[in-house]
Structure 1
Amino acid sequence: MNLRIGQGYDVHKLAAGYEFWLGGILIPYELGSVGHSDGDVLIHAICDAILGAACLRDIGYHFPDTDNAYKNIDSKILLQDTLELIKKEGYYINNIDATVCLQKPKVKDYIPKMRDVLAEILEIDKNTLSIKATTTEQLGFVGRREGVEAHAVVLLIKE
């Protein structure tokens, strides 16, 4: 059995006039994620963790922001495509642990739905997908509500 650990990180600026997509769901908020795609920082971090674990580079390599095919794309599609990339290499996901860092909005009530949505896309049991949220105690760009960041760690298995 071949085990691979991958770590992912992403950050997006928050601004008025954008939707706030997080973990595959739309969250009502006065600010949204600025990005070439829908700006779903959590999905992007998970994609990078998965791709990194399989030594398949990163999300920007596979889905570059210079390609208009990905302009305003639903990040759930990127996640599905990422899963297909690792399946071709013979990997499957054992578990994911992710953390979202944002001052506002409070997202704890949305986490169960995020887990449902992401687990279905990734074809994993939702009990193998941990999503946590934290603030930065009003420190830094996250604390000033200028941006949102996410971290993810994944364990892949190849038998």
Structure 2
Amino acid sequence: MRTGLGVDVHRLAEGVAMHCAGLSFPDEPRGLAGHSDGDVAAHAICDALLSAGGLGDLGSNFGTSEPAWAGADGIAFIAETVRRLRAAGWSPVNVSVQVIGERPRMAARRAEAEQVLGEAVGAPVSVSATTTDGLGLTGRGEGVAAIASCLIDDRGTAVR
């Protein structure tokens, strides 16, 4: 068994759709800017899984120099990350991800996010969220961050 840790941060921008934790938030006035859809939760999950498997990180696997990933959604990144992880002989056991920021509000859609992300990972995913009480870039509403941890094993089956 191995553990992994992933962190991602994206700035908030006008005229960008909000995608976070595998979900779309059409009522949000700003979204997460990036080469892809900016889904910090999905990207942090990918980083955690890749690091646990000894496969590098999001940038080395899906960097901005990769035009095929421009505009891709976070679920596509997770699916490809899990494919690469499995090709290396590892399987996700579970993932935990925490979204850090003032927006979007995750509480009402937490179960939906866990379902969508869990299906993409192929193992249970726990989603939580927190604010930073007005402190830092997340507290000032300049961006959103996420931290993820995971457990993987080489037995080929996820524990449920």
- Fold-level similarity (TM above 0.5): yes
CA contact (8 A) 2:42 2:75 kept: yes
Shift of 1:20: 0.7
| AA in 1 matched with 2:17 | E
Q: Find the counterpart in structure 1 of residue 3 from structure 2.
A: 5
Counterpart-to-counterpart distance in 1, 2:73 and 2:39? 8
Normalising by structure 2, we get a TM-score of: 0.93
Secondary structure (helix, strand or coil) at the match of 1:61 reads helix
Shift of 1:71: 1.1
Q: Find the counterpart in structure 2 of residue 143 from structure 1.
A: 139
In the alignment, is residue 154 of structure 1 matched against residue 153 of structure 2? no
Counterpart-to-counterpart distance in 2, 1:71 and 1:106? 26
Q: Find the counterpart in structure 1 of residue 90 from structure 2.
A: 91
Unaligned residue ranges in structure 1 (runs of 5+): none
Secondary structure (helix, strand or coil) at the match of 1:111 reads helix
Secondary structure (helix, strand or coil) at the match of 1:6 reads strand
Unaligned residue ranges in structure 2 (runs of 5+): 156-160
Q: Find the counterpart in structure 2 of residue 22 from structure 1.
A: 20
Counterpart-to-counterpart distance in 2, 1:129 and 1:39? 19
Written as runs of structure 1 = structure 2, the 5 A alignment for 1:66-105 is 66-105=65-104
Counterpart-to-counterpart distance in 1, 2:87 and 2:126? 25
Q: Find the counterpart in structure 1 of residue 34 from structure 2.
A: 35
Consecutive aligned runs of 4 or more in structure 1 exceeding 4 Å deviation: none
Which segment drifts farther, 5-14 or 88-97? 88-97
User: Can you list the C-alpha shifts for 1:6-35, whole angstroms capped at 9, x where unaligned?
Assistant: 000000000110011011110120110000
Shift of 1:56: 0.3
Which segment drifts farther, 42-51 or 27-36? 27-36
Identity %: 36
Task: Tell me which of 102, 120, 130 is aligned to 2:126.
Answer: 130
Which segment drifts farther, 71-80 or 43-52? 71-80
CA contact (8 A) 2:103 2:144 kept: no
Secondary structure (helix, strand or coil) at the match of 1:86 reads helix
Normalising by structure 1, we get a TM-score of: 0.94
Counterpart-to-counterpart distance in 2, 1:105 and 1:39? 13
Cα RMSD for the two superposed structures: 0.9
Counterpart-to-counterpart distance in 2, 1:104 and 1:12? 12
